[in-house]
Amino acid sequence: MRSLDKRSPRRRLTCILGLLLELGGPVGAAPQQRPDKPNPVAQNSLSKQISVAEAAAAQRPQDPQVLMRLVKLYQLEGEFGKSLPLLERFVVLAPGDLEAQRLLGINWFHTGQPREALDSLRVAAQGDPKDHEASFYLGLCYLALDREDEANKAFNRLAAGIPENIDELYFLVKGYSRVSSAMLSRLAALGEESYRMRQVRGEYFDLKNDPEQAIKEYEKAVQLRPDLSSLHYVLGSAYWKRSHLGEAATEFRRAIALDSQHFMAHYKLGMVLLEQNDPAEALKEFRAALNGQPGLVNGYLGVGKSLYQQGEYEAAVPILQRYAALAPEDPTPHYLLQQIFHRLNNSAAAEEQLTLFKRKEAEAKAKEPTAIKFPQN
């Protein structure tokens, strides 16, 4: 059983365009099925193959090759739920098989469970950095969980594997754009007034810098699906952009009530509470965010700011120093540290931090954005 995807980078990237076309339903909703079923003759042949493979798996439940054959037949039929227990058994029998880890993550995603998919997809992507399919699905799962920064990193890894050829890059950009348009048409066909289309419209108005209209669309999405944490999160984020702090706090709290592991909702609620001059409650939210995701770098800045605003200067120093080490280009912690050391009568340390703040602020202003920003939808 091969554990690495031996396809060329070019072919793997071409396959990802095809993968986009398979994702017809909303992420994180009900289990998804392939929309286009084979013709009756092909379906009958596939059903027979599945029956034979099921019998073989029943007789040889510890044989990885037998299990994988049945997994792939189930996937051809869109039966991702049936594949899951087989893949879970497979990775126990062959934990080093990266293909199985990738398929397990993909199946978790297709059954509407992106959080469960993360560990397997991380193993696959880290074990084979050229496995663009794993990086692609890892990015999708992060998006489904409102973890934008991590999603961007996954997609950036995928993009970094594309050959540095101007013509090829150009046509891949056009290809992704056409696929995106086709996917949006399919989404609209499934429900023009669905909560996901309302969310798409809200994101569109966000990009158009029309926050009031974006809020209206997100509010309608929440009305249609009040049980989805992610919708309360995006609505809260939209309110926060407009400085509607009370409404933002309410929506972030609703997101947390529905999903206590939504560390980004904890983090943004902490930011709102800081603006509302409630550093004690903000500190609780930042710590909850970091408990859920210790790698949330900005969470340390939030903790440091909360301690600073409460006058807990000595406690704030190591937190802000840690953030400064994790985000070496950001001048913010040095300004706060300068203020703290000044209050602690440590003039030498305060002067050192002021120097660092001025230098990093000048460097930040000198940098010009180089990336072209395209609409996400």
Domain tally, the chain: 1
Residue 97 near residue 66, CB atoms below 8 Å: no
pLDDT for 370 equals 53
Residue 107 lies in a domain: yes
The tens digit of pLDDT for each residue in 206-221 reads 888 898 999 999 999 9
The tens digit of pLDDT for each residue in 246-272 reads 999 999 999 999 999 999 999 999 999
* Other beta carbons within 10 Å of 277: 8
pLDDT band at 31 (very low <50, low <70, confident <90, very high): very low
Residue 19 domain boundaries: 9-182
pLDDT for 207 equals 87
Per-residue pLDDT, averaged over 342-369, amounts to 92
Residue 206 near residue 148, CB atoms below 8 Å: no
Residue 188 lies in a domain: no
pLDDT band at 28 (very low <50, low <70, confident <90, very high): very low
Residue 20 lies in a domain: yes
Residue 202 lies in a domain: no
Residue 40 lies in a domain: yes
The tens digit of pLDDT for each residue in 181-199 reads 898 898 888 888 899 999 9
Residue 194 lies in a domain: no
pLDDT for 16 equals 53
* Residues whose CB falls within 8 Å of the CB of residue 277, separated by 6 or more in sequence, listed in order: 309
Residue 225 lies in a domain: no
Residue 209 lies in a domain: no
CATH code, domain with 48:
1.25.40.10
Paired tokens of 283: 């500190």
- Residue 79: what are its φ and ψ, rounded to 5°? -95, 70
The tens digit of pLDDT for each residue in 124-135 reads 999 998 898 999
Phi-psi region of 329 (alpha: psi -120 to 50; beta: other; left: phi over 0): alpha
Which residue, among 301, 305, 300, 253, has the nearest Cα to 278 in the 3D structure? 305
Cα–Cα distance for residue pair 335/26, rounded to 1 Å? 44
The tens digit of pLDDT for each residue in 103-123 reads 999 999 999 999 999 999 999
